[in-house]
Structure 1
Amino acid sequence: METNIQLFYQGILENGDKRTDNWLLVYSPVPISCVFLCYLIIIWVGPKLMAKRRPANLRPVLIVYNFAMVCLSAYMFYEFTASSWLAGYSLLCQPVNYSDSPSAMRMARVCWWFFVSKVIELCDSIFFILRKKNSQVTFLHVYHHATVIFSWWAGVKYVAGGQSFLIGLITSLVHVVMYLYYALAAVGPSMIKYLWWKRHLTTLQLVSMFTLFFSMLLSCQNSSLQLKNDHLLSFRSLLCFCIVH
């Protein structure tokens, strides 16, 4: 039994994309699992520690954080767009390019950045807890973070690129708009009159999720692992949106 587990774990380590093995948090599932375990501990203990404390004033932190996420999302959107456009990617049937060519490595790097951005977004839950908005940290909220982080870890580990580029491209664009809204809202009441477009943000999220869902349904069978990842992410996004709304 122990030998089988060791062989299985060794297979996880050795059967990945050799180009990404040395990148932060990629080679083994242990580091990212430890990060997520710490996250779970924080969201479990945090509300108890904050129970008798006043909500933290995080306005300056939230402004900086959200604008930083706008910049990171804009960078990733540009990289996904440029990398796919220059390489002549197909919107529905794009296999992974495992070569060390500049275009293939550029796509792999932006996939890694997208994965890292999902790790950074764990801060969203911590901010909710510090502001005593515990009702926002629902099972669905935690499930969303878990599926995205581990799906994109597997994506970067085994299939860095390919058809999943479309998920990163569209999601990054939506996050530019979403985090811009959060950043402006964090400035204070003086910005409310400029946030009339909030209802359009919801529409944008809905359109993007249905676009991804149907694009993955129509995608060809390039890689079973990649296709499972893409379908999981698309279905998860659609499910989360439908439940929340």
Structure 2
Amino acid sequence: MTFNRTQHPILSLHQPYHRYGQPLTGGLSYYLIDFWNDVGDPRTRHLPMMDNGPWTMLSIMASYLVFVRYIGPQLMKDRQAFSLHYLMLFYNILLVLINVYYFAEMLACINYGWDLMDFQFPNKFDVSPKAIRLLYSGYGYFLTKFLDLFDTIFFVLRKKYSQVSTLHLYHHTIVPMLGWLVMRISPTAAPVVLFPICNSVIHAIMYSYYALSTFGPRIQPYLWWKKYLTILQLYQFVLYGLYFTVFLCLQTGYPPIYTSVGYVQPFIFFYMFWQYFKCNYCTNTNQCVV
């Protein structure tokens, strides 16, 4: 497909970018802001949080961590725990519906899995309907990761501090950061869509479990399958690890910051979820490290 980038409503908003691989020069300020515009995808620069580096997104994540670790517990110190029954039921059902939608949408965007075999770095100036659909669907899914943060806030307001574990905080913090990196550098890269496809399925099941659990003790006998949800999560990371190993061997044109940061995450997550599984289902000890 050929087109004039200056005539497109998205690409015409921006000045020409440096091509990835050219020598980049400049001081610290360059690498804090302009670097991301030089190596980033011009099609996403106009979107909220995508311009001038990751600092807006990182500010949100820093505020989240400070609140759930320090400010929230202090505010709740002399207060009774909130119930939040109906709010949590609505929230969990909403997240189930959102994840079911994005599973179907992202699957359609990559030709029902066939595009996962395309390991070439995508064209940053492709404004075909297929590319733009994938771009905006990916951005929408990225924004849902901020909705997930309310899960932790509800734990704090209900004084369920034991649920705010290292694993929980790492998961809710690193996923939006990786999502930002994907959206800024290669929002139409088909291989990265494997994560929202698999993760949306697991989150739909997980939030279904949370929604059912809001009904209290009478429903608990029917929630025996929580253990298998964790097993499913472990299989998810095995799949990611295998797929991205193949991807790392066959990919062409992807920047090192993208491949190096993303590749290690399945192994980190597998280790942390395996420790959680052993702690909760394989031993009787309460001395858990996640």
1:173 aligned to 189, 195, 201, which one? Answer: 201
C-alpha distance in 2 between matches for 1:116 and 1:82:
19
**Aligned counterpart for 2:40 among listed residues 7, 16, 40:** 16
State the shift of 1:239 in Å: 2.6
Query: Which residue of 2 is the match for residue 209 of structure 1?
Result: 237
- How far 1:158 sits from its partner (Å)? 0.7
TM-score normalised by the chain length of structure 2: 0.77
1:7 maps to 2:30: yes
Q: 1:128·1:137 contact (CA, 8 Å) conserved in 2?
A: yes
2:262 alignment partner, one of 207, 230, 245: 230
Q: Is the CA contact 2:39–2:185 (under 8 Å) kept in the aligned structure 1?
A: yes
Shift of 1:83: 0.7
Residue 104 of structure 1 is aligned with which of 120, 131, 143?
Answer: 131
Q: For residues 137-159 of structure 1, give each alpha carbon's deviation from its aligned partner in whole angstroms, at most 9, with x where no partner exists.
A: 12332222222111111110111
Q: Does 1:31 align with 2:56?
A: yes
Give the equivalent residue in structure 2 for 1:242. 274
Contact 2:102 2:200 (8 Å CA) reproduced = yes
Give the Cα–Cα distance (whole angstroms) in 2 for the partners of residues 86 and 195 of structure 1: 32
Q: Compare 151-160 and 9-18 and name the one that shifted more.
A: 9-18
Name which of 198, 205, 223 aligns with 1:195: 223
What amino acid is aligned across from residue 71 of structure 1 in structure 2?
L
Task: Confirm or deny: 8 A CA contact 2:120 2:251 kept in the other structure.
Answer: no
Report the equivalent of 2:152: 125
Query: What is the CA–CA distance in structure 1 between the aligned matches of 2:231 and 2:170, rounded to whole Å?
Result: 23
After alignment, is 216-225 or 163-172 more displaced?
A: 216-225
Pick one of 214, 222, 225 that aligns with 1:186. Answer: 214
Output the CA distance in 2 between the equivalents of 1:91 and 1:61.
41
In the alignment, structure 1 residue 116 sits paired with structure 2 residue 143: yes
1:74 deviates by 0.9
Which position in structure 2 is the counterpart of 1:40? 65
Larger Rg: 2
**Is residue 58 from structure 1 mapped to residue 84 from structure 2 by the alignment?**
yes
The 8 Å contact of residues 99 and 200 in structure 2, kept in 1 or not, is answered as yes
TM-superposed deviation, 1:68:
0.7
Greater helix content: 1
Unaligned runs of 5+ in 1: none
- Paired with 2:120 and 2:94, the residues of 1 have a C-alpha distance of 31
Give the % identical residues. Answer: 29
Deviation at 1:92, TM superposition (A): 7.1
Distance 1:84 1:94, change over 3 A: farther
Distance 1:183 1:177 in 2: 10
Q: Structure 1's 228 and 52: CA in aligned 2 closer, same or farther, altered over 3 A?
A: same
Q: Distance in 1 between matches of 2:118 and 2:224?
A: 35
3-state SS in 2 of match to 1:90 = helix
Instruction: Describe the superposition over 1:50-72 as per-residue Cα deviations: whole angstroms up to 9, x where unpaired.
Output: 11211111111111111111111
**Amino acid in structure 2 at the alignment position of 1:140:** L
